[in-house]
Structures are given as C-alpha cells and as structure tokens.
Structure 1
Amino acid sequence: MSKAIKPIAIYLPQFHPIAENDQWWGKGFTEWTNSSKAQPLFKDHYQPHLPADLGFYDLRLEEARLAQEALAKSYGIHGFCYYHYWFTGKQVLEEPLQRKMKNPKEDLPFMMCWANENWTKTWIEAERDVLLRQEYSSEDDEKHIAFLIPYFKDTRYIKVNGKPVFMVYRPNLFPDIHKTIQIWRKRVQEAGFPDFYIGFARKSVNEVFMDCFDFAFEFQPSFSDTPAAPKATIWERVKIKTKKISGKYAPPKVIKNDYEAYANHQMNNKFNPKVYPGITPMWDNTARKKNYPFILHQSTPEKYKQWLRHIADNFPWEKASDSFLFINAWNEWAEGNHLEPCQKWGTAYLEATQEVIEGPSKTSLK
C-alpha cells in the first residue's frame, strides 16, 4: 500500500436543541433523548449505549467540539464528514459546523454530505408523516451551491487535487442528478476551483454507479447486502411482546444479524477503486426504531479490527484518486454506531482503528 489511509468519520450534529425538534418531539429534544432511553430486547443485547469520556455533550459548546476533535486526532482520524441538512434554503442542525467555521481552534479537516431525504417521524415508524420535505429545482441547485462555496474555500475543507469533496446521500431522489451536478461543477469552477469532486453514498454492491459522479463510498451497514440466513446464528427474527396498542400486543420484529458473519460477508465482496471502502464499528438502531430495529449483534473491537485490516490490506489504494476510508460513524448514538467512547468499550474501537491504520503502536485494546 503506497498511500497513507485517511479515515473519515461520519459526524451527526444532532446533539443540541433546535426549535423544530422542540416542536416535534418536545422541549429540549436531542439525539441523547432517544439513545439514553433504549432498553435491551433480548439476552446479551447491548443497550443502552451511553457515552463515557465525552459525556452527554451539547454541540453548541466550543469545549465539546474541541474535545471531540482532540480525541479524533489522538487516534489518527483524518477528518469528519458532517451531515448537511438543506431543504430549499432552510437549514437545520447547522449550528455546530457554523460555529466551527468561525473558530480557527477547531482545525480538524472536514467535508460535507447532504442528507437529502425528507425529514419524517421515522423514529416512531411514521415515515409517511413528513416534517420537512425536499424539493428539487435548478433554482435551488444554484442557491445551494452558492451557499456551499464559502465552506469549500475554508482551508480546513478536504479537497482532492484542489477539488472540494462533497457527497449526496440519496442520488436516486433527484429528478435529474446529471443536470444538478452539471450546474454545481460550473459554479465551483467559476469560484476558482479546478473542478468539483462529487460522490454519493452507495448502499448496496448492486447499486449502479452513475457516470456523473467522480466517486462513491460504501455506506455501512448495507441493509440489503446481508448474509444468506438459513441459520439462526447468522440471521434471527425475534418477536417480543410489548405494550398494548389499540387493545392488542404489538410484537416488534427485531432483525438480529451476527456482526462477525456480516463482516465476513462484506469481506467477500470485490473492491472498486472508484468506491471508497466503508466500515461500521457496530450498529443497533433500537433507540430510533423500537418496533423494527436492525441490529449487528455481538460486535467487538477485535472483530471490527479484523474487518478493518482486510480493507487496509486489500483495497486497491494505488488505483484510487485518494485514500479515504469512511467510518460510519463518529457519534450516531441512537443507532448504536459510534467511535466515541461508550461505557462498555471505552476507547477500544478508536484504539483498534489506530492500530490498523498506523500499525502497532503504544495503544492497546482494553
């Protein structure tokens, strides 16, 4: 491997109150509200996921953001990929990144991914109940890229050969993604950049790579790309009686995938140098989807490290434009998906990441 791997940790900014969440979910709602209430659904189910070193932080505070960046840097994380929320000019959860932009002390490199989905009541399985709707148009494409260019000009913004890196989460939702990217490229070049480096989140190995994009990254876990399941040890649907709803008991359907089996399945897939590799340390969205959670059960730092080492040793880094490795995620606590230290594992996942990326070091798994 000739290139030094650059781990990019996906970053969720929903750890501070906003007016919209106050209205929809109750005063003071943040991501901690759901994650701290989660309960185990079966034997050996790791819930709730509770923070350790950084505590229940508020991302409006400079001290919290600086502590995150210091922790990330100390374990070799190259940068954060901030979820960006834009609804025809309306922004939500923008405050942490806006405050970083004004604060030179927050010097960790960053990029952005537009989470271009409708906001719905997905946490209570009411995905048809739309809270904020995405509307696409050429006019909005122009307005959006004009808003983004000042971020791209920031010296901390991650670029490839001078081209700012930007991603969209769901390219299939655009009425004409080719036209949108054409507009964006033109405006980025007019702003003085050599070009745009535009990518998307690939959810499945079967997802078509559209030629208007420069790259994709593996979004892990890939819910549609899971092991065949003749054995309950690999894939198990668990039914558990819960509270009465409309006079009847509602049995949740828990999709419980063994983490090691899932990782082994992913390791059998072929790499594409235009699709940067992705990995997840663990996943359990019980806190968000109480009735239909997807769980990667029995994740450990050692199993994660084996998957990560496979990626480091086998991805064709020399053929890729850069050496990004996307880790989902830095702080998705309500999805049980985080590199940030928790009360069960401490910094073990960060240590595993550093050991693989930088080689044997002074850190050791706890």
Structure 2
Amino acid sequence: MLLAYYLPQFHEVEENNLWWGKGFTEWTNVKKAKQYFKTQEIRKPIEPLGEYDLMLGDKVIEQQFEIAQEHGIDGFLVWNYWFGNEEKILERPFEKVLQEKQKVNYAFAWANHSWLNKTKGILLKEQKYLGAKDYKKYFNYLKSHFLSENYIKKDNKPIFGIFMPDLIPDLSEFIELFNKWAIELGFDGIFWLAENTNNESNYVKYFDRYFDSVVFLKGRKNSPIGYFFEKLNTKTKGKINFGPFIYSYKNLSDLYKNYELNENELGVIFSGWDTGIRHAKNGIILKNLSIASFDNHIHDVLEKTTKNNSDIIILKSWNEWAEGNLLEPDSIFGSELLNVLKRNRNGY
C-alpha cells in the first residue's frame, strides 16, 4: 500500500487571511518564489490540475486521486489539524469529500504542532493537549470519517498517523482511549503510524508502524561545509545566514541506499525538496532531481520494502508545492515522475 502525504491548504481560511493577507493559500508562496541560482528549477502547476482551489470547482480532490491511483498511489495520508478545544483548521476540503461521498481513499495524520511565523518568531496558533475529555471530542469529530467506506483501514482498524508523538505528554492514554473508542464502533482498534520516529524512540512500542519522512535529508551531514553553515544559521536564529542551503538529491538518494529499515519501519519515497519557496534564505534546496535519480530512488525504496516484508510505503509528498516535494504534474517534469512511479510499481 502506497500512501502519499496530502496538504489541504489550497483554499482561503480566515486565519491565513489574517496572518498573511487576504487570499493567501499555498499558491501564494509558489507564485512569489525566488530563484537563488541559475540551475534552480521551481516547479509550477500545469494542467490537468493547474492552480486549483479545493473548495471551488467540481470535486478537485476526486480528480487528484484519480490521477494518483492511475499511477500507483493507493491513498492520501492527509494532514489533519486539531489544536484542542475543537479548534481546527484546513478541515473543510475533506469534510466536503465525506459529505459528497467522493471516490477518494484517504487516512489522516494528526499534524500536532503549533503554527508559527518563523520569520518573525510569532506564535500563530498553539497546539494544546487537554486530556481525555478533549481527546473524546477529537475522536467524535473523526468518527464519521473512520466509518466512511473510503477511509483506509488495515486489519479492521482505521489508519491514523501522528506527526510528533513525542510532543504528546499523555501519549499512552491518548492511544489507549482512541483504541477503546474505535473498538466501541466495531473496529479492532486504530492502526497507528508514528512519524518522526526511529527504533530508539521510547514510545515506538505503541505504534503498528513507524518512519521518519526526512531521514533522507539526514545524509546532508556528509556535506560538512554546507551543513556547518546551516547549523550556524539555526544556532544564531538566522543572524548569520549563508542560505538557502543547497544539497544534491542524487547524492542523498545514493546515501539513502545504505540505510536499512528496522522491523515495522516504513520506507519513504522522497519527491524533491525546496523549502526556499516557503522559508527563503532559511530554506533547504535539493538540486539534481531528475527522471533517472527519481527512478533509482523509487527502485531502492521498493527493494528495501520487499526485503523488510513491509506492507506500507510513504510518499513525501503529493502536493507540498511550497516545499518543493510533490508528484502532481508540474512545469519541469510534466507527468514523467508519475510515470516513473507507475512503471516501478507495476514491476513489483
């Protein structure tokens, strides 16, 4: 099963209009993206999807999934935002999917982090953990999705991911309660995915599968000069900044070949990276993404998955346009990256 991360920030919401200006969506950063070096290729949307609005038009997400499924993606792993006390954001597109019974296979991953204006160091929306009563409200909100025939299950359990499990102070209680309430609905519990996790994480035992979707990027430590300046930038909070910081997709994917998956660890396909679009000089840009390097990387992840007898692969990502990791048709590659994925999946 191949699940692709999906960002639902392609429509206006009141909060983003307040924080970033009227009309802000993910496309805002893409349209104003700066090219920092001559060979940097900023990927822009093209037909058949183009610059879509998830709340306008006729079933945009269903059209996206039709293209994704045709090329070997089994479902979207959708970022879901619950800040506590029923505060949500970006939830409406998949409420629309649910209400209209659109033919989209999806599961949620709780993006349990506060929202910040990182440029100005301003807290925009705080992630809160308010205990059992609030977790019950969250579960009740998710319940109608879990019960949908289009919500992805495994072993009679709705799949549900957590972005930063280590931030949840009462993680074991949260998991225990969600399992209990899922069983009361007729499931056998929740099928848990842990993001930002390795086999040494002290909570890994609570999860069915785990992975770190940026483990691919950790190979940049092998570029000591670039990595030194990147860490210096972080340490000085941008006061000393030689960024954006440039590494090679091909080199990192070659290094990733040496990475072995542990038991219950999932392989991750990495579809590019350019956070210079979102974070300007604080960003990381991977050059040398090509048809050949992507093909080799997919082949490697599929081999790791087969060797590990794994049953799920994560794709990062379907549509993170302002971070340059995406698989939708774009101005640089057209649909060729999708075709590479399809050919590789047909081979396994």
CA distance in 1, matches of 2:217, 2:197: 8
Letter aligned with residue 44 of structure 1: T
| Aligned CA distance change for structure 1 residues 192 and 347 (closer, same or farther; 3 Å) | same
| CA deviation string 1:112-132 (max 9, x = no partner) | 00000001113xx23x41111
Q: In the alignment, which of 83, 86, 89 is matched to residue 92 of structure 1?
A: 89
Structure 2 spans left out of the alignment, 5+ residues: 231-238
Measured after TM superposition, the shift of residue 150 of structure 1 is 1.5
CA distance in 1, matches of 2:68, 2:319: 11
Aligned to 1:197: 191
| CA deviation string 1:313-359 (max 9, x = no partner) | 23246744xx2211111000000110001111100110111111112
CA distance in 2, matches of 1:166, 1:337: 22
Aligned residues: 336
| CA deviation string 1:72-93 (max 9, x = no partner) | 1221211111100111111110
Q: In the alignment, which of 305, 326, 330 is matched to residue 314 of structure 2?
A: 326
Q: In the alignment, which of 342, 346, 352 is matched to residue 334 of structure 2?
A: 346
CA distance in 2, matches of 1:222, 1:308: 12
Aligned to 2:28: 33
1:280 maps onto 2:275 in alignment? no
Q: In the alignment, which of 131, 142, 147 is matched to residue 141 of structure 2?
A: 147
| Aligned CA distance change for structure 1 residues 348 and 208 (closer, same or farther; 3 Å) | farther
| CA deviation string 1:130-165 (max 9, x = no partner) | 111111022211211122122111111111111110
Q: In the alignment, which of 69, 75, 80 is matched to residue 73 of structure 1?
A: 69
Between 260-269 and 328-337, the greater mean CA deviation after superposition: 260-269
Aligned to 2:99: 102
Aligned to 1:129: 122
1:19 maps onto 2:7 in alignment? no
TM-score, with normalisation over the residues of structure 2?
0.90
Letter aligned with residue 342 of structure 2: Q
Structure with greater proportional strand content: 1
Aligned-pair identity in percent equals 29
Measured after TM superposition, the shift of residue 236 of structure 1 is 8.9
TM-score, with normalisation over the residues of structure 1?
0.86
| CA deviation string 1:231-285 (max 9, x = no partner) | 77xx6969xxxxxxxxxx9854222111111111111111123111112110001
CA distance in 2, matches of 1:218, 1:81: 15
Give the 3-state SS of the residue equivalent to 2:205 in structure 1.
coil
Structure with greater proportional helix content: 2
CA distance in 2, matches of 1:174, 1:146: 19
Over aligned residue pairs, what C-alpha RMSD do you find? 2.2
Aligned to 1:305: 295
Aligned to 1:245: none
Q: In the alignment, which of 275, 279, 288 is matched to residue 289 of structure 1?
A: 279
Measured after TM superposition, the shift of residue 220 of structure 1 is 3.2
Aligned to 1:357: 345
